[in-house]
Amino acid sequence: MKILIAGAGEVGFELGKVLSEEHHDVTILDERQSCLQRVIENLDVLTQEGNATSPHALVEAGARQADLMIAVTSVDEVNLISSMMAKRLGVKTVIARVRNSELSQSDSPLTPTELGIDVLIHPEESAANEIHKLVKRASASDIISFADDKLQMIGLRVEKHSGIIDKSLSDIVKEHNDVEFRVIAISRRGKTIIPRGSNKIIASDHIFVVTKTDHIQKIISIAGHSNVTLKKVMIAGGSDVGRILAKKLSADIQKWQIKLIEPDKDVATDIANNNKEILVLHGNPTDPNLLVIEGIQEMDAFISVTDDEESNIISCLMAKHLEVKKTVALVSKSQYVPLSQTIGIDAIVNVKASASDEIHRQIRQGMMHTVKALSGVKAEVIEVEAGKNCQILNKKINALKIPAGIVFGGLIRDENAEIVTGESIIKEGDRVIILALPSAIEQVEKLFV
């Protein structure tokens, strides 16, 4: 596929990296020479210097021949204008990242389609959805739901007092044969391990487990975590992510006690007027003295979503030091994500990775239903449908030659969900949960076409 990416920032760079590894013909357009130089030095893609709102720059970047254009500059207006132009120039599919949620609202006077946009991505809402799921699962660092929540993939840190320390995965499965689960990845000191039955678990491993939703609490207990219920939440920052998250929490059946701190007085007043059930405070959410005065030490969860990602990390570390049960920091730099596993923050959400995941899912739409990158692991979780020409139909998993870098986790058949074992047989129409290293994505596609 010939793909044009407008914007060489973090999202554009990450998309270019992944898509080029999957052997797509990628061109990245940006007017910033420094950003393009980083792309040239690190990625196997073409580059074009120019403004994404210039029709000449779009044509020179190959818009007339492109199958797909992805507009992910840092400016909404640029993304909108470049999307309209790209569609007029003949690009088949246009995806645009737009932070302003007005276009996605049902009462909007203009629809994305009328502006030439086939898929509209709202990264802040994606990030808020991810944090919302994390807060509802106190011990989880990652959560992905499949098949209407029948199956879930959960990321957990293995606590030092866990009973599975120094045991092989085979032994753990035998010991807990009343629980259906499969460990599909292990992150250990920044290294990604695709596990086999002989792999042993050590303290502080970050494990990623596919299990039935009914068994989530047992998996959490096996990893050494207690069943904690969160009620009191402090949100640092009234950004778009903070606002969306506060609305989602206040709409839950579970009643949360929500306290939000915002430095801009007008913004704080607006949030307070539109969210009567939330206690909104005007102040600097990165000020440790203010946080202590406002009772951070009494909170069950602390979520820092300000525009200053370094302050988000530091604030969460302070909250963890004060024994807040769950801490979540919002970041935009991908290099900060593995940091959470070594410094004690429970979860880090990358707003740009959330946008990248959503865009990637749209690119692979068809047989692939879900695409999600994991925090701190160089791999993706994919939900893929087995077509009638699928190479592995009607064969036991243990009889197949599965390419290196691929792990089968679960499958959904009709309304039923199950964990994949060596005896499992994949049939036409099954939706299979797979973890794959970037180098193995193409192999997944070959297996299931």
The 3-state secondary structure of the chain reads CEEEEECCCHHHHHHHHHHHHCCCEEEEEECCHHHHHHHHHHCCCEEEECCCCCHHHHHHCCHHHCCEEEECCCCHHHHHHHHHHHHHCCCCEEEEECCCHHHHCCCCCCCHHHHCCCEEECHHHHHHHHHHHHHHCCCCCEEEEECCCCEEEEEEECCCCCCCCCCEHHHHHHHCCCCCEEEEEEEECCEEECCCCCCECCCCCEEEEEEEHHHHHHHHHHCCCCCCCCCEEEEECCCHHHHHHHHHHHHCCCCCEEEEEECCHHHHHHHHHHCCCCEEEECCCCCHHHHHHCCHHHCCEEEECCCCHHHHHHHHHHHHHCCCCEEEEEECCHHHCCCHHHHCCCEEEEHHHHHHHHHHHHHCCCCEEEEEECCCCCCEEEEEECCCCCCCCCCEHHHCCCCCCEEEEEEEECCEEEECCCCCECCCCCEEEEEECHHHHHHHHHHHC
First-residue to last-residue Cα distance in the chain: 16
The yes-or-no verdict on residue 186 having pLDDT over 80 is yes
* Predicted model pTM: 0.75
143 close to 127: Cβ distance less than 8 angstroms = no
Q: How many CA atoms lie within 13 A of 436 on its CB side?
A: 23
* Structural domain total, the chain: 4
Cβ count within 10 A of residue 210:
29
* 405 found inside a domain: yes
* 440 found inside a domain: yes
Q: What is the per-residue pLDDT for 94?
A: 94
**Do 374 and 290 sit in the same domain of this protein?**
no
Q: Measured between alpha carbons, how far is residue 10 from residues 7, 36, 216, 334, 376 in Å?
A: 9, 12, 33, 8, 16
The yes-or-no verdict on residue 171 having pLDDT over 90 is yes
| Per-residue pLDDT band at 445 (split at 50, 70, 90) | confident
115 close to 100: Cβ distance less than 8 angstroms = no
* 343 found inside a domain: yes
The yes-or-no verdict on residue 138 having pLDDT over 80 is no
Q: What is the mean predicted confidence (pLDDT) over 273-297?
A: 91
**Do 168 and 260 sit in the same domain of this protein?**
no
**Could you tell me the CATH number of the domain that includes residue 278?**
3.40.50.720
Q: What is the per-residue pLDDT for 387?
A: 83
* 188 found inside a domain: yes
The yes-or-no verdict on residue 86 having pLDDT over 90 is yes
Q: What is the per-residue pLDDT for 367?
A: 54
Q: What is the per-residue pLDDT for 341?
A: 60
* 345 found inside a domain: yes
Cβ count within 10 A of residue 114:
11
Q: What is the mean predicted confidence (pLDDT) over 203-215?
A: 90
* 431 found inside a domain: yes
**Could you tell me the CATH number of the domain that includes residue 202?**
3.30.70.1450
**Do 155 and 201 sit in the same domain of this protein?**
yes
86 close to 58: Cβ distance less than 8 angstroms = yes
How far is Cα 296 from Cα 289, in angstroms, rounded to an integer? Answer: 10
The yes-or-no verdict on residue 248 having pLDDT over 80 is yes
Q: What is the per-residue pLDDT for 364?
A: 64
Q: What is the mean predicted confidence (pLDDT) over 174-183?
A: 92
283 close to 290: Cβ distance less than 8 angstroms = yes
| Per-residue pLDDT band at 368 (split at 50, 70, 90) | low
Q: What is the per-residue pLDDT for 401?
A: 86
**Do 346 and 244 sit in the same domain of this protein?**
yes
Q: What is the mean predicted confidence (pLDDT) over 43-61?
A: 95
What is the dihedral sign for C-alpha 28, 66, 95, 155?
negative
How far is Cα 85 from Cα 57, in angstroms, rounded to an integer? Answer: 11
**Amino acid, single-letter form, for residue 58:** L
**Do 39 and 147 sit in the same domain of this protein?**
no
* 297 found inside a domain: yes
* 126 found inside a domain: no
**Do 371 and 337 sit in the same domain of this protein?**
no
Q: What is the mean predicted confidence (pLDDT) over 425-445?
A: 86
Q: What is the mean predicted confidence (pLDDT) over 289-299?
A: 92
Alpha-carbon torsion angle 43, 62, 380, 418, nearest 10: -160
The yes-or-no verdict on residue 366 having pLDDT over 60 is no
**Do 345 and 395 sit in the same domain of this protein?**
no
Last residue of a domain, one of 222, 238, 270: 222
Most confident of the ranges 61-75, 247-261, 403-417? 61-75
87 or 229, higher pLDDT: 87
Last residue of a domain, one of 67, 98, 121: 121
**Do 140 and 234 sit in the same domain of this protein?**
no
pLDDT digits (tens, 9 = 90+) for 317-355: 999 889 898 999 998 776 776 666 667 788 888 877 777
**Do 209 and 299 sit in the same domain of this protein?**
no
| Per-residue pLDDT band at 227 (split at 50, 70, 90) | confident
**Do 113 and 14 sit in the same domain of this protein?**
yes
The yes-or-no verdict on residue 95 having pLDDT over 90 is yes
Last residue of a domain, one of 222, 243, 273: 222
Lowest mean pLDDT across 242-246, 357-361, 416-420: 357-361
Q: What is the mean predicted confidence (pLDDT) over 125-149?
A: 84
pLDDT above 90: percentage of residues in the chain: 47
**Do 175 and 147 sit in the same domain of this protein?**
yes
Domain containing 265: what range? 229-354
**Do 289 and 346 sit in the same domain of this protein?**
yes
Q: Measured between alpha carbons, how far is residue 97 from residues 116, 118, 122, 244, 348 in Å?
A: 13, 11, 6, 17, 21
200 close to 166: Cβ distance less than 8 angstroms = yes
The yes-or-no verdict on residue 39 having pLDDT over 90 is yes
Q: What is the mean predicted confidence (pLDDT) over 34-48?
A: 95
| Per-residue pLDDT band at 370 (split at 50, 70, 90) | low
